[in-house]
Amino acid sequence: MRIHSLLHSSLLVEDLARARAFYEGVLGLVPSPRRPAMSFDGVWYELGSRQIHLICLPNPEKGLIRPAHGGRDRHVAVGVDSVAELAERLDAIGIPYTLSQSGRAALFCRDPDDNALEFVEAPLTGY
């Protein structure tokens, strides 16, 4: 047995409408029709052959102080065509972010539920 790939990452969100406004309205993701009916609300987003699952449940870490830089926190990293374009979009709507401290073309921001996200400028073949 060997582990060969990451299939999806799940993030907890308390307010699904607010989370969808961020993931769909700000990031431009499109909900997947592949999510089956479940006992809790949520949405899936396809990212190539992988997915992000938003699970609408109470936040068990409410009030926890997160690091200012998402790279120092648990996070999900996704590839983007242009970090500069994303930075312009975030600046325009007032969403704070930090640049990668490694020198890579990458930035970190948080969703409305304080989940850290990393956006790495990478060709579709990976980084």
49 found inside a domain:
yes
Nearest CA among 7, 104, 113, 127 for reference residue 60: 113
> Is 93 part of any domain?
yes
What gap in Å lies between CA 112 and CA 95, rounded to an integer? 10
The more confident residue out of 18 and 125 is 18
CA distances from 127 to 35, 63, 78, 114 (A): 28, 34, 10, 25
Whether 126 is in a domain gets the answer: no
Q: What is the bridge-based pairing of β-strands 50-56 and 97-99?
A: unpaired
The domain that contains 33 carries what CATH number?
3.10.180.10
pTM of the shown model? 0.92
Cα 73 to Cα 15, 66, 120, distances in angstroms: 22, 7, 16
126: confidence class by pLDDT, cuts 50, 70, 90? low
Cα 21 to Cα 112: distance, rounded to the nearest angstrom: 9
Looking at the DSSP assignment, which residues form a beta bridge with residue 127? Answer: none
49-105 confidence digits (pLDDT tens): 999 999 999 989 888 999 999 999 999 999 999 999 999 999 999 999 999 999 999
In angstroms, the Cα distances linking 121 to 42, 47, 71, 86, 125 are 28, 15, 15, 10, 11
Q: How confident is the model at residue 125 (pLDDT cuts 50, 70, 90)?
A: low
State the average pLDDT for the chain.
94
Written as six digits, the tokens of 70 are 């998402």
Question: Which domain covers residue 86, as residue numbers?
Answer: 8-57+67-121
Does residue 34 fall inside a structural domain? yes
**Once rounded to an integer, what is the mean pLDDT over residues 6-17?**
96
Tokens at 74, concatenated: 């648990």
Specify the number of domains making up the chain: 1
Instruction: Give mean pLDDT, residues 98-126.
Output: 91
